[in-house]
Amino acid sequence: MEHLDLIKRNAERLLKEIPEGVILLAAAKTRTLEEVRAASEVGIRTFGHNYVQEAQAMIEQADFQGEWHMIGHLQRNKAGDAVRIFDMVQSLDSVRLANELEKRCEQQGKILPVLIEVNSGEEENKTGIAPDDVDKLVEALRGLSHLRLEGLMTMGPFSGDPELARPYFVKTRKIFESLSGSPADTIAMRYLSIGMSNSYRVAIEEGANMVRIGTQLFGPRSA
């Protein structure tokens, strides 16, 4: 109970600190339903998961309202389940995945908002599409009627000095801005999802309107 109260206090502090118009996404990887419910009880309405199977188990049990976003790497063989349970996929990183999501959305009669995950540091150990390849993926999305591109996501460094993440965020914001004037029906650049627990303040300074926070909200992960 004490831990759940701490989550609520953390959520209240973060919601007061984060400017109006910036969405706080609670990164729920490895968290329990009770922990996520505690965050919801003080006003958090957007939740992210890294794994389809883990998310499905939580979403099916959830007794509170919220939006559920896929924020981890999505394998194509999980696309059907992802389309069924998520309100948004933030980790679109290839034309092949886009085509699979399109097929599954058509089967389920669903329009799915997606964000392109940009590997802004072009790091070999991270998922996401290279900055120079974003335009090619955007062009592919123009022809897919069941996917709606609504923005970009990037990770930045996992830890260390938050200032180290700033160049990654700037690069992603510039790509976002270059796409924002697109007239296509399947593109409406609304969300710049950058920044996590160690870097969300810098991300907001650089234009983020969605930040993905786990540790600062729930505490250190036990797994």
In whole angstroms, what is the distance from residue 186 CA to residue 101 CA?
Answer: 14
pLDDT at 187: 82
Domains of the chain with bracketed CATH: 2-192+211-217 (3.20.20.10)
Q: Are 39 and 11 a contacting pair, CB within 8 Å?
A: yes
pLDDT at 141: 95
Single-letter code of the amino acid located at 219: G
Q: Are 46 and 63 a contacting pair, CB within 8 Å?
A: no
In whole angstroms, what is the distance from residue 84 CA to residue 175 CA?
Answer: 29
pLDDT at 185: 73
In whole angstroms, what is the distance from residue 3 CA to residue 43 CA?
Answer: 18
How far apart are the two ends of the chain, measured CA to CA in Å? Answer: 20
pLDDT at 156: 72
Neighbour count for residue 182 (Cβ, 10 Å): 15
Give 124-166 as a DSSP string. Answer: TTS-SB-GGGHHHHHHHHHT-TTEEEEEEEE---SSS-GGGGH
Q: Which residues contact 32 (CB under 8 A, 6 or more apart)?
A: none
Single-letter code of the amino acid located at 93: D
In whole angstroms, what is the distance from residue 172 CA to residue 125 CA?
Answer: 18
HSE-CB at 57 with a 13 A cutoff on CA atoms is 11
pLDDT at 186: 73
Q: Which residues contact 123 (CB under 8 A, 6 or more apart)?
A: none
pLDDT at 157: 63
Both tokens of 87, joined, read: 């309100």
Helix, strand and coil content of the chain, in percent to the nearest 5, comes to 45, 20, 35
Average pLDDT, the chain: 93
Per-residue pLDDT of the chain (223 residues; tens, 9 = 90+): 799 999 999 999 999 999 999 999 999 999 999 999 999 999 999 999 999 999 999 999 999 999 999 999 999 999 999 999 999 999 999 999 999 999 999 999 999 999 999 998 777 778 899 999 999 999 999 999 999 999 999 987 666 788 989 999 999 999 999 998 776 677 889 999 999 999 999 999 999 999 999 999 999 876 4
